[in-house]
Amino acid sequence: MSSFAQKLKYYVEKSGQTIYSVAVTSGVERTMVHKMIKGDRIPSNKDIVLAIARTLLLSPSDTDELITAYEISLRGESAYHQLQYVQKLLLNCAKPSLFKIDSTPPKISSENIQSILSQQELIPQIITERPQINQLVRTLLELELQKPNGHVYLIAQPDYQYLYELLASLTCFAPGAKVDNIICFDQANDDDDCYNLRCLEKLMPTLLSCPAFEAHCYYDHVDSLFNEWSLLPCMLLTSEYALCFSADAGQALFFDSPEINKFMKQFFHKKMICTSPICHSLTTSFSNYLEKVIMSGKATDLAPQIYTILYQPCLTPFIDEDIIGRHLKMEYFSEDMLRRIATHFAVVKRTIINSCFTQEGLELFLNTGRITEIPDMFYKPLDVESRRRVLKNMLRAVDTGFLVPRIINTAKLNLPAALNVEALSPTRIILYLRLENDTTFSLTLNEPSLLHAFYGFMEYIQNSRLVYSQTETLNILHDLEKTYL
């Protein structure tokens, strides 16, 4: 019997009602209710579950439990856990602590580094204490990342928290440095179906702070490769030194032999051939972002339907040429740039946009004329008449089916204002973060299991408890229409 069937049976019995009375009051057929309680049928949509919950006089918390059980039974426990983890990742990835990293450069001298390294009595040196290994890891990274063309080769899992926190803080100070990281993604782990998502979450601070950091993955059973019985499966290589260490960073071998260093780099490059990029990140100014992302010509790859999640609705497709001429600061845009932007949005308008956004974000635009996806320096806030025209164009797109809106219930999903997520196709998903100083961070996912999990979430949220229903959303939009038009 499914978890939904068990929950439903419990609540029906607790209410004291018969299956017949539940069916009559809820409007659900008696045979359907009976089959749901036996576990032979799962409701086709959430509205049926909500109708039964109202009939049983369930509290909000009991209703949430019943709907959760329904979603688990409908999607499977593993898929449901992944949806919940994507939600958690999106909420956490825009936290200021991730991209406001301490900008004080490390004070390192060559004498200090050599002093630390000279503490090792023999080379190769066996190290069996984690604090010493952590100190050596920091020293090696600082030494390499001071060099204009420093290159760190890394085979390690993001579970080594100290290493990745260190990378996130140190790589800010060596723009010419490069870090290549090979990570094992799990093929199938019944005990942890969110392992690959958790790896991405732990990599986010480093991806945000260091554009030169590149993460590559291959597939295997993580537990079988990285455990207490594995002999030093992790590796950190610099131009001069090599460190092999255990999965828990509790044991290590340290080398300064050029021959061993060369041998290990050959091993690294052979392994690299079998990997693929997890994602591509780009941190740049907004104007460069327009050039590299918006006007790259890739809009032609859009699927018939695209999905977006953002604080403020994507308003640019509803801004006409007259509004652009009056409010855009033309000194920042060439004629060619404007023409390619127009081409991009002409392609977008041939797709159906399933968009989740907040009421607060839309009201911010209607009250101030500010469009949060465009930095203030590039335009003048829209006047009242222009705001009304944009809202009219947006509502017209809803009526024609070009825009399928869902307003986010911020009590259930407190979406960061700096975050935009776009699923342009099942294989093209991009996360955008608007940072300070006219900087945009974009993360394009490449790895199949991450793409599958994120695209599943983008589809799931449209009819989830995290957003208001289609009817509720349209009522809110029409109320705003009455207020502002």
CB 166 within 8 A of CB 141: yes
CB 398 within 8 A of CB 474: yes
Model confidence, pTM: 0.87
Dist. CA 233–CA 156, nearest whole Å: 8
CB 242 within 8 A of CB 153: no
* Residue in the structure block whose two tokens are 């790259």: 296
Side-by-side strand order, sheet with 151-155: 125-127, 252-255, 242-245, 234-237, 151-155, 178-186, 213-220, 276-277
pLDDT at residue 303 in the model: 76
pLDDT at residue 170 in the model: 74
Q: Is the pLDDT of residue 110 over 80?
A: no
Q: Is the pLDDT of residue 461 over 90?
A: yes
pLDDT at residue 440 in the model: 80
Dist. CA 395–CA 321, nearest whole Å: 18
CB 184 within 8 A of CB 220: yes
Q: Is the pLDDT of residue 375 over 50?
A: yes
Q: Is the pLDDT of residue 197 over 90?
A: yes
- Least Cα distance to 209 among 160, 139, 145, 293 occurs for 145
Q: Is the pLDDT of residue 432 over 70?
A: yes
Q: What is the largest CA-CA distance in the chain?
A: 84
pLDDT at residue 297 in the model: 47
pLDDT at residue 115 in the model: 60
Q: Is the pLDDT of residue 111 over 60?
A: no
Q: Is the pLDDT of residue 104 over 60?
A: no
Q: Rounded mean pLDDT of the chain?
A: 86
**Tokens representing 406?**
């869902």
Cβ-in-10-Å burial (0-12, 13-18, 19+) of 161 comes to exposed
Q: Is the pLDDT of residue 3 over 60?
A: yes
Cross-strand pairs, 277 = 216
* Local confidence band at 100 (pLDDT 50, 70, 90 cut-offs): very low
- β-strands 428-435, 439-445 pairing: antiparallel
CB 192 within 8 A of CB 227: no
Q: Is the pLDDT of residue 167 over 80?
A: yes
For range 246-256, the mean pLDDT: 93
- Least Cα distance to 189 among 225, 216, 234, 243 occurs for 225
